[in-house]
Structure 1
């Protein structure tokens, strides 16, 4: 006999926390023979998933809810966007529930959202059963959806509410301070098998288009203890028996507001955010092309991650316009010379044809400059550690066989101590010419002696810069 068939006989379905219960959920009423039973066991599920919304839809939400008959979810703050985030993958679930019709469980979907109220308001609300303050707060949070994707997902929720398949409860800390921050879900199929997932998510309106989320998944047949823990936690929240959290039914005004989003026909097609992605692509296309338009250089400043002071704006404009003539940035300490250089670099790389850039820095400033480029200029540039390792600020690394190979990078940060030595300087001079060389702490590039009227021998660093210019190996300097 198949071991799983013996397990079927021995399992109990009396408790919502019993792992792997093989019967219809307690509030279900049976199964239509014309509907093919869904089974969560029909697919191998990855333990960990991460990524933006589209990939999680394809790998988890849509295939899991396509097999589901019940879905419990503990969400974030109550808002239209948080509800829309909870509705990911609902198209196939609605299709299955519609096939069952009146025999589908009610509610099939239970959502717990959270809100924050002072302890005295929570106590008064529970004692007097006066939910007016909570209702006003929730109505204020329920904004008209601005994005099409959010509106389409709210239509799914509205349909489920209208059909009696969705109920929402609002969680409030019993002592007032804090919020119900747990984000997890339990998905069950008709046989009683279940999946549990928990993790972080961005449940904002923008997050619906390009959010990053990381979740951990387990199943009741492989990890029954974890399933019982989360299923029991949700039941305690839903039944208002949790020691730390009160839950109350969603006020009627909010329920009716959700129903208004319900379409005339069942929304069984999973909405796509393709339109939103196309819109974002159009905006980025404009940003890329903007520097080439009249006065387009200002787009580089406007899209930077830092706001320039007035004097910085003038320096950036003058220095960028002067290229390929070089400039010395000689402001006092603390006046933002590094930011000026980064914004000049953004302008030149975006609209002035600058491709090859070498940034020479004191060794102790390499990491700081790399971080500033990323945080202020949204520029990911590798730094050279030693002569054989390239490190990017996002954690990537690359081994190179020698310095000439490293110098093939179009944008490179390296220490001036490494650059100025004989063999390394020769490699820099032999590399493909640089459009721009940026030198920080440029006082290190100076004459060895200060004798008037004499072309004095310079430091190794000054000699390197002289040769780069005299041999036509760079088109411009900024220091």
Structure 2
């Protein structure tokens, strides 16, 4: 009714006459939506309505007070209440400008009988464009529920249609009689002057504002009071939003709701994003009474569950869309329909990258036509070819989250992300986060591990093949494609370094020093040693060997956390780790993105790819703040060529060290023990002349 009839007719008119049963704050909120174009056309309004009478008003009328005075008091009370209602204040401000310009008049109608009053309950309206008339009548009051929420009906009559002309003329004449107090059994009295001071005061407070002026940014966050508005996210009262998080949200709003937050792991990207969504939802309600659908896309199912937990803290139970389509599709479509009909004021759906890119979820997005906010957790993943083409153009608001938004050796994917989400609007690296005490301080211990002769020979062989492919003009974008010939070779070389045999003995010595300690993470290399495949040997995986060292040899309590670990078991492992029932978690990549393990105090990095994203995320994972935790320890196993070895060329050795030392330099310069770290590496740097690395 509003979108298809009311607002288009108002925007095309120069005169609007309306007589309704109830005069409420939401009348003015609805009028405010379409009044801009109406005002630009020089439009004028005449409104006849009745105020809502409470018991005190009725008692006064029955006691003999003048009915007109009681009706005016009731109408003024409603207007004053509207000044405190964010849904109506914007509309009041716009109407106030018309009042000040003498282009709108209000009158009150009521049925007066001795000692009592009857309510005026007719509902008619007339739009005029200076030539033609559109008249309507029906059950709808001029309230938000009347025009949006209820099941209502109106009949519309057009003066240019011979079938409607007589009815349109009669409704127009009825309104004129009503306005001039010529309708039998009704009293119609002026109200404009009485209302003028209240309405003009609101006009003054809203004059000159644009939409951004109304954003709740830079000040106190919205509190849980907004939870009374069904379906709207609301910042919990118990959440202390940090200053830098407020700044991030403010920057995003100033960029018209587009942008990427480049924030270090552990600095609260999730809570920052939900705070932005809560404020956006509130803003849209104030602006034009719109409902907001928020879609959160995260890489994995366990991250969807983690997001859902935080969203529930913000007052909404989201739909979790993953696994079988039948488990979420019908509920999601019902939710979208409720938003469209105005029966819900907001909703959140959290999904995985895989489900988001599938046809069922894309069809759901295509079916929704209202305001849409897309939040991408670990947004760099959505730059992949198969996902970036699925990003919805219809999303008016877009927020990307990542500690490392640039895709490694994938300029096209990085550019696609920036084209879609916008520029980086806020940045906080690990150094700044440590200085602000959002992350804890740390010590860094690099442990040098030499390749054995077999590993060194294989490393040189693979490096030679890589060099020949690049020299032959192989597209460097294939660095990001693990299925390409170049990608496979790069992975094999990284696996040689990650699975270096000497790491296990070195790990045993390092853990033995700390075997009485708790909250330790061990990051292992994936799969098996490349030499096992090459020799056709079915040997153990590194993760199995590490579990044996920790559990069988050092008698520490430990658990695996891998892709094969079921979701319920993962949650149990994290709970036990948090409670100090487990000393150690042995993992591979599963802890890289988004998993909260703030209690972790020591991290052993047996495997780190040369992709900066991985080691930056792993460092951030262990630097998260937790009660009783003031610092963390990172033990990094750094692979170096064998001393005196002749199996690999000197330049290949330098290349290996450059990659390893780049990570060491990144970790060391923010560590409390930077000087000690540099001394540890000095002999290797001297041997290969790598003091510039």
TM over 0.5: no
TM-score (norm 2): 0.30
Which structure is higher in RCO with an 8 Å CA cutoff and minimum separation 6?
Answer: 1
Which structure shows the higher helix fraction?
Answer: 2
Whose radius of gyration is greater, 1 or 2? 2
